[in-house]
Amino acid sequence: MDEKKTPVIGIPRALLYHRYGTLWRAYFDGLGVRTVLSPVTNREIVNTGSALAMDESCLSAKIFLGHVQALIGKCDTIFIPRYSSLGRDAVFCTRFEGLYDQTRNVFRSSGQEFISCDIDLRNKHSEQSAYKDLGKKLGFSDKEAARAYTAAVKADIKQWRELIQKQEDSCCKPGMKILLVGHSYILSDPYIGKPIVDYLERIGVIPLRADITDRNAALRESQRFSPTCRWLMSRELIGSTLLYQDKADGVILLSAFPCGPDSMVNEMLTRRLSGIPVLNLVLDEQSGTAGVETRLESFVDIIRFKEGEPV
């Protein structure tokens, strides 16, 4: 294939990028397609996204639109896959199903091109077939797309196993451990979630992340908690919380205002977790660093007091 005719693809560094970013980048690399990432989240991106989004949008969705805006004019097309389901009881939040159409509508006057693929196993659109179809849209053969997808899956699994092993090693270290229960697009975001992880480390706490887990084991464990919860990533967080709670001294529930699934799931976890301190922390675009750090420091002091340590 003539490489010069291959479009430069922009990838917003937000939402599902923090879950599938390795897969996406490895897939496009395998096809020889050049990609451009939006900058890491900053105040300008948050403000821009907030101005573009509907008032009812959650903070993470607002941040996503800010990342898309940062890519306008810097690439030929922007990649926004549509994730609907990975099975009958593995459904994504509707924001991910409608994200492609919503974004195209918001930027309909920009002249920017967008490209997508449809992952919806309930309607027989597997991830593998979705990336095969995506390869066709880009002008590649089925064989080339299949080879790139297979290599991308291997890279994703390798990176994920390394993250899980690193966390398991952290569980064995001495010191206070706090389990952070939040989606990857919150905990990995350099502006809203990563500062919380970094602050806990600075004050001598070992942060554990519920989003870094054996997903199949977490899904099985979540059945004991709620067999009717159908949101895939919420079920993973529930199961992971149950698997890690005995290894943690406290639990922090992190969510982006006003996330519907998180508001329900976190309320359920708060009621069901017993014998362990729990902090429910809801983040929005007005959340200040000082205020969040004060709440974190107070929470850590409560745990130390409970365990008989000097505060």
- Which 3 state secondary structure label does DSSP give 177? strand
On the question of pLDDT at 288 being above 70, the answer is: no
- Written as six digits, the tokens of 309 are 């340590």
pLDDT at 307: 76
Taking the C-alpha atoms of residue 238 and residue 223, their distance in angstroms, rounded to an integer, is 9
**Secondary structure of the chain: what % helix, strand, coil (to 5)?**
55, 15, 30
Structure confidence by residue, pLDDT tens digits, 11-52: 999 999 999 999 999 999 999 999 999 999 999 999 999 999
Give the whole-number percent of the chain exceeding pLDDT 90: 86
Structure confidence by residue, pLDDT tens digits, 166-215: 999 999 999 999 999 999 999 999 999 999 999 999 999 999 999 999 99
Between the alpha carbon of residue 223 and those of residues 130, 210, 211, 265, the distances in Å are 29, 16, 17, 13
Structure confidence by residue, pLDDT tens digits, 97-130: 999 999 999 999 999 999 999 999 999 999 999 9
Buried b (16+ CB within 10 A) or exposed e, 88-99: ebbbbbebbbeb
pLDDT at 305: 86
How much is the average pLDDT of 72-84? 97
CA angle 282, 283, 287 (to 5 degrees): 125
How much is the average pLDDT of 292-298? 95
pLDDT at 89: 82
pTM as predicted: 0.94
pLDDT at 182: 97
Q: Which residues contact 293 (CB under 8 A, 6 or more apart)?
A: 199
The helix (H) or strand (E) run that includes residue 52 is: helix 43-52
Q: What are phi and psi of 180, to 5 degrees?
A: -95, 115
pLDDT at 88: 83
The helix (H) or strand (E) run that includes residue 209 is: strand 206-209
How much is the average pLDDT of 152-158? 98
DSSP one-letter code for 14: S
pLDDT at 310: 64
pLDDT at 3: 47
What is the rounded average pLDDT for all residues in the chain? 94
CA-nearest of 165, 246, 169 to 213 is 165
pLDDT confidence bin for 2, thresholds 50/70/90: very low
Q: What are phi and psi of 114, to 5 degrees?
A: -130, 150
Taking the C-alpha atoms of residue 181 and residue 239, their distance in angstroms, rounded to an integer, is 11
pLDDT confidence bin for 4, thresholds 50/70/90: very low
On the question of pLDDT at 311 being above 70, the answer is: no
Q: Please report the sign of the dihedral spanned by the C-alpha atoms of residue 114, residue 149, residue 183, residue 174.
A: negative
CA-nearest of 211, 222, 219, 204 to 268 is 222
- Written as six digits, the tokens of 134 are 């995506």
Q: How many helices (H) and strands (E) does the chain have?
A: 12, 10
- 10 close to 36: Cβ distance less than 8 angstroms: yes
pLDDT at 286: 78
- Which 3 state secondary structure label does DSSP give 75? coil
Structure confidence by residue, pLDDT tens digits, 220-234: 999 988 888 889 999
